[in-house]
């Protein structure tokens, strides 16, 4: 049995926990708040530290000092934070759904995250390059999409 099938999130080692991230970058997109409803809307604007092609944080160890609202996921908060993408491996495991077929630990290939349309690779704009009056144009719904069961 694979570690994510036999261990709870609480029981995992740091290395196991880190390996669960599929590298999609969806959680590093900026959320916009609807002023009237308070509803959070995802944008196609990425955090200033996210590399738009590799979808990796360019300063993972120092991220919380540079981006104070960057959330460190934990076994506890992953089940509580509503904006964590439904495709996120941590959220899926917290909800008892297991890892999806396209997750690199299952498929054996990081490319499947891109092929299936979960990765934000090449689809985002850098937050420091978006003008104040342009933000509303960047609201998008594709980061909420659920990928197909097969390709
Ligand atoms: S949404 Fe989840 S799986 Fe995707 S980059 Fe963020 S932590 Fe990793
Ligand atoms: S600081 Fe890094 S991990 Fe945090 S939101 Fe930005 S890119 Fe993502």
Residues 40 and 33 sit within 8 Å (Cβ to Cβ) = yes
Mean pLDDT of 80-104: 96
What was the pLDDT predicted at 150? 84
pLDDT at 21 over 90: yes
**Backbone φ, ψ for residue 63 (5° rounding):** -65, -35
Which ligand has the minimum distance to the alpha carbon of residue 121?
1
Q: How confident is the model at residue 83 (pLDDT cuts 50, 70, 90)?
A: very high
pLDDT in tens, 29-81: 999 998 899 999 999 999 999 999 999 999 999 999 999 999 999 999 998 99
φ and ψ at residue 114, rounded to 5 degrees: -80, -50
Which residue, among 2, 54, 1, 10, has the nearest Cα to 28 in the 3D structure? 54
State whether the beta carbon of 28 lies less than 6 angstroms from ligand 2: yes
Task: Please check whether residue 1 is in contact with residue 16, taking contact to mean a CB–CB distance below 8 angstroms.
Answer: no
Residue 148 scores a pLDDT above 90: no
Instruction: Determine which residue's CA is closest to atom 1 belonging to ligand 2.
Output: 63
For ligand 2, what atom is nearest to the CA of residue 60? 2
Summarised one tens digit per residue, pLDDT across range 105-132 is: 999 999 999 999 999 999 999 999 999 9
Task: Give, for 19, the enclosing helix (H) or strand (E).
Answer: helix 14-19
Instruction: Pick the residue whose CA is nearest to atom 8 on ligand 1.
Output: 21
Atom of ligand 2 lying closest to residue 48 CA: 6
- Alpha carbon of 127 to ligand 2 centroid (Å): 12
Question: CB-based contacts of 136: which residues, under 8 Å, 6+ apart?
Answer: 32
114, 121 in Cβ contact below 8 A? yes
């Amino acid at each position: 049995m694979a570690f994510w099938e036999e261990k709870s999130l609480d029981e995992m080692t740091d290395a196991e926990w880190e390996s669960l991230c599929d590298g999609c970058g969806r959680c590093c997109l900026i959320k916009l708040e609807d002023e009237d409803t308070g509803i959070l809307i995802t944008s196609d604007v990425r955090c200033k530290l996210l590399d738009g092609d590799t979808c990796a944080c360019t300063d993972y160890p120092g991220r919380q000092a540079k981006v104070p609202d960057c959330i460190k996921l934990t076994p506890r908060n992953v089940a509580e934070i509503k904006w964590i993408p439904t495709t996120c491996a941590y959220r899926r495991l917290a909800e008892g759904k297991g890892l999806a077929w396209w997750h690199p630990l299952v498929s054996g290939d990081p490319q499947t995250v891109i092929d299936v349309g979960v990765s934000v690779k090449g689809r985002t704009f850098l937050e420091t390059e978006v003008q104040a009056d342009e933000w509303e144009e960047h609201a998008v719904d594709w980061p909420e999409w659920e990928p197909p069961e097969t390709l």
